[in-house]
């Protein structure tokens, strides 16, 4: 089967690429090993933080804004809520990454944020306990939460409506790049195209060896208020946050939305991809102890927990672009724990790369060529 472009992996980045390529009129096929919006990779667990003043890199604000625009437009067309802009607080010491990173990103990109002094922070979020006297916060009003399974499905449906072929439950066994085309092998078919986008998440390094990527597994957990009648932890009163605590632990999470519960995680808690259930249980116990100290209004026993995969790159930024030694292959991965919010923005960059269009924002910091081939 011949196509203009094949997209391998229809998670966050791949389904977005499929949509943006189909939007340009490309004859495109997407191949996904599992069902669309499945819970075995990196894009599940009901919600993700959506931030614009991204502490991870000032260059990410234009990508987040592009994502906001595309999801808002798609949601208005389909009647689905794909982003809820209830704001985000980045909290910690003035020189902590959440505070200094969010301020630097906001300054560089002209994103309107508000700085809260210690008194302002305590008045705004009485739910937080154990703040250091010098802790402050940055309020990013355009931030909020987004919805991994729903948004991946919406992107895939949008692509299909625009004519894309979607092959779910179809594992890609190998990708072979020839002189004139790339062949994608599955158990039941061979697909050929002049270019391929590989967005295989935690498995990207298996399909495209030599990329400096390391997958890890981390828990997501949901909590309920200690007082079941309390609305102190509803999303509007307890918005998305990243909080570097005085002891050094960084917590992230957000209040209850659509009755999923209050979602909380520890930024640095992780285990090997095939790690034991005991190791995961140990991480959840550690989280529980931190929640008891930091958010005493919550029952510290999670109502549920489940694993999710994070794929790190050496500098914590994504790899989005052509392979230096094989330009027919365009990759997208290395979400490094903060990629979901950028999915449509990355999908648009992938489509622009394939179409040899000028990128809508600076992309040097995402270019796979910043790493030596075959190493970090």
Ligand X SMILES: Cc1cc2nc3c(=O)[nH]c(=O)nc-3n(C[C@H](O)[C@H](O)[C@H](O)COP(=O)(O)OP(=O)(O)OC[C@H]3O[C@@H](n4cnc5c(N)ncnc54)[C@H](O)[C@@H]3O)c2cc1C
Is residue 338 at the binding interface for ligand X, with CB under 6 A as the rule? yes
Is residue 8 at the binding interface for ligand X, with CB under 6 A as the rule? yes
Q: Which residue in 3, 21, 42, 255 binds ligand X (CB under 6 A)?
A: 42
Distance CA(150)–CA(81), nearest Å, equals 9
CB neighbours of residue 22 within 10 Å: 23
Which residue's CB is nearer to ligand X, number 26 or number 199?
199
Enumerate residues 6+ apart whose C-beta is below 8 A from 309. 41, 42, 201, 202, 215, 216, 217, 218, 273
Beta strands at 5-8 and 195-198: parallel, antiparallel or unpaired: parallel
- The sign of the dihedral angle between the CA atoms of 71, 73, 75, 77 is negative
- Count interface residues toward ligand X (CB under 6 A): 36
Is residue 215 at the binding interface for ligand X, with CB under 6 A as the rule? no
Tell me which stretch binds ligand X (CB under 6 A): 74-82, 84-92, 108-116, 197-205: 197-205
Q: Give the angle subtended at the CA of 368 by the CAs of 362 and 369, to the nearest 5°.
A: 90
Buried-state track 24-41, b at ≥16 Cβ within 10 A, e below 16: bebebbbbbbbebbbeeb
Q: How far is the CB of 261 from ligand X (least distance, A)?
A: 15
Is residue 200 at the binding interface for ligand X, with CB under 6 A as the rule? yes
Which residue's CB is nearer to ligand X, number 267 or number 355?
267
Q: Which residue in 3, 5, 6, 13 binds ligand X (CB under 6 A)?
A: 13
**CA nearest neighbour of 32 among 164, 224, 144:** 164
Q: How far is the CB of 228 from ligand X (least distance, A)?
A: 26
Distance CA(165)–CA(362), nearest Å, equals 31
Subset of residues 241 to 300 that bind ligand X, contact rule: CB under 6 A: 265
3-state helix, strand, coil in the chain (%, to 5): 30, 25, 45
Tell me which stretch binds ligand X (CB under 6 A): 74-82, 284-292, 296-304, 339-347: 339-347
- Three-state DSSP class for 20? helix
Distance CA(34)–CA(137), nearest Å, equals 40
Q: Which residue in 3, 6, 9, 22 binds ligand X (CB under 6 A)?
A: 9
Is residue 203 at the binding interface for ligand X, with CB under 6 A as the rule? yes
Tell me which stretch binds ligand X (CB under 6 A): 11-19, 123-131, 224-232, 288-296: 11-19
Is residue 142 at the binding interface for ligand X, with CB under 6 A as the rule? no
Q: How far is the CB of 234 from ligand X (least distance, A)?
A: 19
Phi-psi map region of 115: left, alpha, beta (phi>0 left; psi -120 to 50 alpha): beta
Which residue's CB is nearer to ligand X, number 137 or number 208?
208
Q: Which residue in 310, 320, 349, 350 binds ligand X (CB under 6 A)?
A: 310
Phi-psi map region of 51: left, alpha, beta (phi>0 left; psi -120 to 50 alpha): beta
Which residue's CB is nearer to ligand X, number 300 or number 345?
345
Token pair 């355009």 in the structure block, residue? 142
- Three-state DSSP class for 267? coil
Q: Which residue in 120, 141, 171, 306 binds ligand X (CB under 6 A)?
A: 171
Tell me which stretch binds ligand X (CB under 6 A): 85-93, 323-331, 338-346, 365-373: 338-346
Which residue's CB is nearer to ligand X, number 132 or number 337?
337
Return residues touching ligand X (CB under 6 A): 8-14, 31-34, 41-43, 48-49, 171-172, 199-201, 203, 207, 218, 220, 265, 308-310, 333, 335, 337-341
């Amino acid at each position: 089967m011949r196509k203009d472009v094949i997209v391998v992996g229809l998670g966050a980045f791949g389904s977005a690429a499929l949509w943006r390529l189909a939007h340009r009129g490309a004859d495109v096929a997407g191949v996904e090993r599992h069902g669309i919006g499945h819970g075995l990779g990196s894009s599940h667990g009901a919600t993700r933080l959506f931030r614009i003043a991204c502490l991870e890199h000032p260059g990410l604000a234009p990508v987040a804004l592009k994502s906001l625009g595309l999801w808002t437009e798609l949601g208005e067309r389909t009647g689905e809520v794909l982003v809820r802009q209830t704001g985000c607080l980045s909290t910690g010491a003035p020189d902590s990454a959440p505070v200094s990173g969010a301020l630097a990103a906001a300054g560089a990109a002209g994103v309107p944020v508000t700085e809260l002094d210690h008194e302002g922070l305590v008045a705004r979020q009485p739910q937080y306990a154990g703040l250091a006297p010098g802790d402050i916060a940055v309020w990013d009003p355009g931030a909020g939460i987004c919805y991994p399974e729903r948004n991946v499905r919406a992107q895939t449906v949008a692509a299909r409506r625009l004519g894309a072929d979607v092959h779910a439950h179809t594992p890609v066994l190998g990708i072979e790049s020839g002189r004139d085309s790339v062949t994608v092998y599955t158990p039941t078919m061979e697909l050929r195209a002049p270019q391929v986008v590989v967005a295989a998440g935690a498995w990207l390094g298996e399909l495209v060896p030599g990329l400096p990527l390391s997958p890890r597994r981390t828990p997501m957990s949901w909590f309920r208020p200690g007082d079941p009648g309390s609305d102190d932890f509803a999303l509007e009163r307890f918005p998305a946050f990243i909080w570097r605590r005085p002891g050094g632990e960084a917590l992230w999470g957000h209040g209850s939305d659509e009755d999923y519960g209050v979602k909380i995680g520890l930024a640095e808690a992780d285990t090997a991809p095939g790690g034991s259930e005991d190791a995961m249980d140990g991480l959840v116990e550690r989280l529980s102890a931190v929640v008891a100290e930091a958010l005493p209004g919550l029952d510290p026993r999670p109502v549920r927990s489940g694993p999710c995969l994070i794929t790190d790159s050496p500098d914590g930024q994504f790899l989005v672009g052509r392979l230096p030694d094989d330009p027919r292959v365009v990759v997208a991965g290395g979400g490094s724990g903060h990629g979901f919010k950028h999915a449509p923005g990355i999908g648009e960059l992938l489509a622009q790369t394939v179409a040899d269009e000028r990128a809508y924002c600076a992309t040097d910091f995402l270019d796979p060529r910043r790493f030596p081939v075959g190493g970090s």
